[in-house]
Structures are given as C-alpha cells and as structure tokens.
Chains A and B, each alone.
Chain A
Amino acid sequence: NAGVTQTPKFRILKIGQSMTLQCTQDMNHNYMYWYRQDPGMGLKLIYYSVGAGITDKGEVPNGYNVSRSTTEDFPLRLELAAPSQTSVYFCASSSDSYNEQFFGPGTRLTVL
C-alpha cells in the first residue's frame, strides 16, 4: 500500500513553460485535493475532486487545471508557468470530506 504518490519530487521550470504534476492514490479514496504551500504559510487549496469526473475550484485556482478520469489519478496542470507559482505542491486524498487527509511527499517547483 503506497498511499499517495507524487511525481516529480523536484522541478525547475522557465517562465512560460508548462508541466503536469502527477498524483496517484491506491486507497480507493473518492476525495482528492491539490494544495500549494509557500514558505512559512499554511496550505492553500488549488483544486479538489469528490470523485471521478468531478472537479471543483479551491481558494487559488488561477493558472492551474486538473482532471479526474479515474479514482486513482488526479494530475495538476500548470500552463504558462510564472514565478508566483514557485511553491511546494501537495496532493492529498480522503475517504470522505470530514475524514483525515493523507498527503503525498510533495513536489518542489521553482519557476525562474
């Protein structure tokens, strides 16, 4: 049982480039989330999904897109990367909206 896995662990992008952050969970959780965490700050919700085929915006969705074609996978797409998107990105999953969330190890992204 791997839990929540994320790839890559680290990435440096140039301004204007695009990339996809991968997230997979093997716990059969319906709920999945993408957060960003800036230094010394709390987690900010980017997008979330309550099940395959259903996604919704969180607090800071601008500049990002997601899809949820399967229960296991919830990729996050960055289009036209900007320096403001330099952050640590965490993917998480939970069995329900009021249950604990399990986090992946994070992706450290730098946009130069």
Chain B
Amino acid sequence: GQNIDQPTEMTATEGAIVQINCTYQTSGFNGLFWYQQHAGEAPTFLSYNVLDGLEEKGRFSSFLSRSKGYSYLLLKELQMKDSASYLCAVTDSNYQLIWGAGTKLIIKP
C-alpha cells in the first residue's frame, strides 16, 4: 500500500529552527510537495522536490532523498504566524498526489 508518515505534532520556540520529517512508501515517485495549512483554511504551496538535495526558499528549505524515501522541511527564524499544519504529499506513478496526515506545528513565544 501507499503510506506517508509525518509526526502528528511538534512544538518550537519563536526565533528557533525546526525540522519536520516525512517518510514515504508509494508506488512510484514523481515529486514531493510541502504545503502549509492554517487552521480553518485551505492548503497553500510551499515547495517541490523531484531531485535529491536541498531546495532553499527564504526561511523555508526542503530536502529530498529518493533512495531513503525521506524528506524534511526546515523552517528557520520561526515566527508566530508559522503556527500551522505542514502537509507532505508525494506524486505517485499515476501522477496522483498521496497526502500525509500533516504535522501540527505549535510556536511558543
């Protein structure tokens, strides 16, 4: 079966750095997405990785290792507005997105 695992919840301090991990087992791989979802709102796109390595975009970076079926999202200089759920999603061999349950990130002052 297809499976994406993320921690259910994480807590971090304002100004700090946090890493959210995602492991996946899917039928094929055509890319991995990270989305941010604030409570009661729709998901919004953060990053896309299809090749191994690190993609940096401002305070957010995303890493992919296809051989390990592993990705992480790194958030630096945390702000209170970063409190949200972070969803990992993998495009499988049929080009369908398989979604993880999301990681709820709580930022404390």
Contacts and interface: CB of A to CB of B under 8 A. Distances in A.
A42 B87 contact: yes
A45 B97 contact: yes
B95 A97 contact: yes
A98 B45 contact: no
Contact of A43 (B43, B44, B50, B95): B43
Given A43-B99, A45-B97, A48-B96, A98 B42 contact: no
Nearest to A96: B95
A90 interface: yes
B96 A42 contact: no
B33 interface: yes
A43 B87 contact: yes
A105 interface: yes
Given A42-B87, A43-B99, A45-B96, A100 B33 contact: yes
A43 to B, nearest CB: 4
Given A40-B101, A58-B96, A98 B91 contact: yes
Dominant secondary structure of chain B at its interface with chain A: loop
Interface in B74-109: 87, 89, 91, 95-97, 99-102
A74 interface: no
B23 to A, nearest CB: 14
Interface residues of A, number: 19
B101 A42 contact: yes
Interface in A47-66: 48, 58
Nearest to A48: B96
Interface of B: 4, 8, 30-31, 33, 41-45, 48, 50, 87, 89, 91, 95-97, 99-102
Given A40-B8, A41-B101, A42-B100, 5 more contacts: A33-B97, A97-B91, A98-B31, A101-B45, A103-B44
Interface of A: 33, 40-45, 48, 58, 90, 97-98, 100-106
The 10 residue pairs across chains A and B that have the minimum distance between CB atoms: A97-B95, A42-B99, A103-B42, A100-B45, A43-B99, A42-B101, A42-B100, A103-B43, A98-B31, A41-B101
